[in-house]
Amino acid sequence: MRPFQYQRAHSISDASAIAALPEAMLIAGGTNLLDMMKLQVATPSQLGDIGRIGLDGIQDTSDRGLRIGALATNTATAVHPRVRADYPVLARAILAGATQQLRNKATTGGNLCQRTRCYYFMNVDQPCNKRDPGSGCGAIGGVNKLHAVLGTSDQCIATYPGDMAVALTALGAKVVIAKSDGAERTVPVRDFHLLPGDTPWRDNVLDQGELIVAVTLPPPVAATQLYRKVRERSSYAFALVSIAAVIAIDDGKFARADLAFGGLAHKPWHDPRIGELLVGAAPSPALYDQAADLLLEGAEGHGDNDFKIPLARRTLHAVLAEAVEKAA
């Protein structure tokens, strides 16, 4: 690791002040940042530890939703009684990610901001527009099994690797952000991560000096919730394709169909047309195919990841069929 100055933040304003400094970074659980610092993929000269700024609580909101502090650990969130009872897709998505040791340290904010697992990004000897703008993209025409099939650009085809945010996207959660001037802004999780476009170095909408203070969940809805993660081994691997589904059936028809997809793009993928197609329609394999057509319209493989396109289609079929069976 390159030398850095370590400073513990004691408040949100402390943390914002550190985050606003050039070459400073915030550290929460450290499970992604320290990994990158050891590889010199991240080389902050100042590290602001936000672990003790008092944002680790999980509280009911006045509308019976839930507010999960940015420093709540993934474990604390997954085992929280209200998360288990009212937002099971979130508990399931978290439990499907990483390991208990990592989840005990990983935080809400750090999980949302975790960076891609693209092999070229993680290796400073390789070209990568995300890490080193203008150096090229090693993954295009290279090894790209983990990479995106939707929403890519000719600059970057990386995926956002996380699970939790996929569930938060299906649930319609919001990210509460403290701005450097002390004011707050709120961004739907669906709009928090960016597509790579011409600015692949930007993963999300956070500006220098901003930090995540919480994630809020809307009031619970009566629905069947599922998280299906397809990976190369049955535990402890990143998603090839994952789907978070919040499904309700009424009178033999879809009454709610909120779906989000992991492993396919630079952000948790949400296509409102899928919900619009499904709601009001009776479940059938033909309908699921139409939903998959919408999802995969414009999908493009890059060689090693071509399999993700048929895999996403089959996984969507399986998840919808399972959800319908459970919801009926």
Ligand X SMILES: Cc1cc2nc3c(=O)[nH]c(=O)nc-3n(C[C@H](O)[C@H](O)[C@H](O)COP(=O)(O)OP(=O)(O)OC[C@H]3O[C@@H](n4cnc5c(N)ncnc54)[C@H](O)[C@@H]3O)c2cc1C
Rounded to whole angstroms, the Cα distance separating 200 from 130 reads 5
Helix axes of 285-296 and 308-327: crossing angle, nearest 10 degrees: 140
Alpha-helix runs per DSSP H in the chain: 12-20, 33-38, 74-79, 81-86, 88-95, 100-103, 108-113, 164-171, 189-192, 272-278, 285-296, 308-327
Q: Is 138 in the site for ligand SF4 (CB under 6 A)?
A: yes
- Helix or strand holding residue 265 (H, E): none
Residues 68/94, Cβ–Cβ less than 8 Å? no
Which residue of 31, 47, 121, 315 would you call a contact of ligand SF4, by CB under 6 A? 121
CB of 128 to ligand SF4, least distance (A): 3
Q: Which does 128 bind (CB under 5 to 8 A by kind): ligand SF4, another protein, ligand X, none?
A: ligand SF4
Torsion of CA 130, 132, 137, 138, to 10 degrees: -110
Window of 20-28, 61-69, 129-137, 256-264 that interacts with ligand SF4 by CB under 6 A? 129-137
Phi, psi of 106 (to 5 degrees): -60, 140
CB of 280 to ligand X, least distance (A): 33
Nearer to ligand SF4, 174 or 266 (CB): 266
CB of 164 to ligand X, least distance (A): 6
Residue window 186-225: x/- pattern of binding to ligand SF4, with contact defined by CB under 6 A? --------------x-------------------------
Q: Is 156 in the site for ligand SF4 (CB under 6 A)?
A: yes
Q: Which does 202 bind (CB under 5 to 8 A by kind): ligand SF4, ligand X, another protein, none?
A: none
Please state, as a whole number, how many other Cβ atoms lie within 10 Å of the Cβ of residue 62. 6
Which residue of 157, 211, 230, 243 would you call a contact of ligand SF4, by CB under 6 A? 157
CB of 140 to ligand SF4, least distance (A): 6
Q: Which does 92 bind (CB under 5 to 8 A by kind): ligand SF4, another protein, ligand X, none?
A: another protein
Residues 147/238, Cβ–Cβ less than 8 Å? no
Which residue of 42, 78, 139, 146 would you call a contact of ligand SF4, by CB under 6 A? 139
Q: Which does 104 bind (CB under 5 to 8 A by kind): ligand X, ligand SF4, another protein, none?
A: another protein
Write the CB contacts of 253 (distance below 8 Å, at least 6 apart in sequence): 279, 280, 281, 282, 283
Q: Which does 109 bind (CB under 5 to 8 A by kind): ligand SF4, another protein, ligand X, none?
A: ligand X
Please state, as a whole number, how many other Cβ atoms lie within 10 Å of the Cβ of residue 304. 14
Candidates 101, 209, 200; CA nearest to 147 is: 200
Positions touching ligand SF4 (CB under 6 A) are: 116, 118, 120-121, 128-130, 137-139, 156-158, 200
